[in-house]
Amino acid sequence: MNDLHRLTIHESHTLLKEKKISSVELTRAVLKYLESIDGKIRACMRITAEQAMASAAAADKAIAEGRCSPLTGVPAIIKDNMCTRGITTTCGSKMLENFVPPYNAHVIEKLNSVNAVMVGKANMDEFAMGSSTENSAFFTTHNPWKLDCVPGGSSGGSAAAVAADACIYALGSDTGGSIRQPAGFCGVAGLKPTYGRVSRYGLVAFASSLDQIGPLAKDVTDAALIMNVISGHDKRDSTTVPLEVPDYTRALKIDIKGLKVGVPREYLVEGMQPAVRKAIETAAKKLAELGALVEWNVSLPNTRYGLAAYYILAPSEASANLARYDGVKYGYSYRETTSMWESMEKTKQFGFGAEVKRRIMLGTYALSAGYYDAYYLKAQKVRTLIKRDFDRAFEKYDVLVTPTSPTVAFQIGEKSDDPLQMYLSDICTLPINIAGVPAISIPAGFADGLPVGMQFIGKHFGEETLLRAAFAYEQATPWHKQKPVIA
């Protein structure tokens, strides 16, 4: 069988279950394609071929014994900020260039428990800080649709690999848009679950009140199948909630008659690309055609404070989280001195890249004596305002629909010297993390040959409604079937 790498999870599962293919065949095909194409895309920090083939053989044994759940034997790429025991986990940073975790992240344990197969670790912006992968300490990933464009970030390697069919699915993490924005730029499905839905145990911490792990997938069905495996309470992450995990595939019904959809006007921002606006308006009309009750003039009035609040809260938390990289226990360590303080300062100076340093500085400033009330505390109060905007909107609407980003993928190098311009790329995604609600980005058309992402936002633990709306739209449109031709 040709082109096995192009399969979705649900297609792979059917073939594996009916024993028409083996996981070893599927994994070999994916690895062969990934290795042939990654010189152009550069999605992977490392390809883990040997371990993948061993996992595939184990998956085939499980399938022969009758244990074949939807992810069994299906090859995935994992963002390089999730700890994988015995496999280097760099987090895109020189600081962790040689870090080999002594344990697995919770999500890796979950994948292992169903005999999933990991074929590689994905490139990312350093410590997940960035919107393009240009902040990776090692190299930049290319957008499969246009190789001179960024794939988005920070989960850019994960999104590019899925879009290029270089794996069957991927995991990413999302602190202010890091799953959804690259999913939008690359034309795949990317879901940020509700805060507390998926354990972050073993995820390298960035901003702990905002970080979530989630799927990047070729379609909405696959996103639901991944959510079924990775969701749930974990006592090692006390922010996970002890709620039942539903079977998310039950939400995949092509029926959105009467679904109340709001289009917040503040997300159709000034400066957004006209083609993106048009795609989202056309998509919202499509939802109405499918029976949804679309209200166009919804207001989330505090959206305008989202960017500033986020870029105070996230760097503040990061400045505390990243204080652990002191060159003592693991990671890069500057040792050309006998002074403890000099060793610590130079470890950070040489181990961190420019954006990470910028955020540590910003966060340290916002938390420092004399500025705490004006910046950090103020931002936390604005967080309350933003959260209440969503609470109020969800009293009237089941889902909100917005663009995922104000533009399609930009050129490599276009914004890398201007941090504020780069931050603006996440203007439609970061309020969602501030409020802790779930959101999914799915493809909703093209502009200049690049995918346009549409974001569905739901209420806390409303993933089923999100998936239902996204699935109905996806099944009524051709976008998810379109694939890049990689030149």
Partner 1 sequence: MKLTDEEVRHIALLARLGISDAEVEKFRNQLSNILENFDILSQADTEGLPPTAQSIALENIFRPDEAGPSLPVDDVLANAPDREENCFKVNAVLE
Adjacent-strand bridge partners of 44: 122
**How many angstroms separate the CA atoms of 189 and 480, rounded?**
8
Instruction: Find the shortest distance in angstroms from Cβ 270 to partner 1.
Output: 14
- In whole angstroms, how close is the CB of 422 to partner 1 at the nearest point? 11
Residues 6+ apart with CB under 8 A from 57: 23, 24
Phi, psi angle pair for 143, to nearest 5° = -75, 125
Binding letters toward partner 1, positions 96-135, x by CB under 8 A: --xxx-xx--------------------------------
Length of the chain: 487
Indicate which single residue of 215, 327, 445, 484 sits in contact with partner 1 (rule: CB under 8 A). Answer: 327
- The kind and range of the H/E element at 215 are strand 212-217
Please identify, using beta-carbon distances, which residue of 374 and 476 lies nearer to partner 1: 374
Tell me how far apart the alpha carbons of residues 290 and 288 are, in angstroms, rounded to a whole number: 5
311, 394, 397, 456: which one binds partner 1 (CB under 8 A): 311
Q: Are 51 and 85 in contact (CB under 8 A)?
A: no
Q: Does 308 bind partner 1 (CB under 8 A)?
A: yes
Contacts to partner 1 from residues 329-348, by CB under 8 A: 329-333, 335, 337-346, 348
- Binding part of the chain for partner 1, among 63-71, 169-177, 198-206, 375-383 by CB under 8 A, reads 375-383
Cβ closest to partner 1, residue 34 vs residue 91: 91
DSSP string, 76-103: EEEETTB-BTTB---TTSGGGTT---SS
Query: For partner 1, which residue of 14, 51, 112, 239 counts as binding (CB under 8 A)?
Result: 239
Residue 79 annotated in active site: yes
Binders of partner 1 among 396-435, rule CB under 8 A? 419-420, 423, 434-435
From 19, 250, 324, 350, residue interacting with partner 1 (rule: CB under 8 A): 350
Residues 6+ apart with CB under 8 A from 332: 94, 95, 96, 97, 98, 325, 347, 350, 351
Annotated active-site residue in 79, 218, 286, 346: 79
Q: Side-chain half-sphere of 481: how many Cα atoms within 13 Å?
A: 6
154 part of the active site: yes
- Contact between 206 and partner 1 by CB under 8 A: the answer reads no
Site for partner 1 in 459-478 (CB under 8 A): 460
Nearest residue to 197 (alpha-carbon basis) of 433, 388, 427, 13: 433
Query: Under rule CB under 8 A, how many of the chain's residues touch partner 1?
Result: 74
- The distance of Cα 302 from the centroid of its chain, to the nearest Å, equals 25
51 lies in the site for partner 1, by CB under 8 A: no
Whether 55 is catalytic is no
312 touches partner 1 by CB under 8 A: yes
Query: Which of the residues 271 through 290 are near partner 1 (CB under 8 A)?
Result: none
The catalytic residue positions are 79, 154, 178
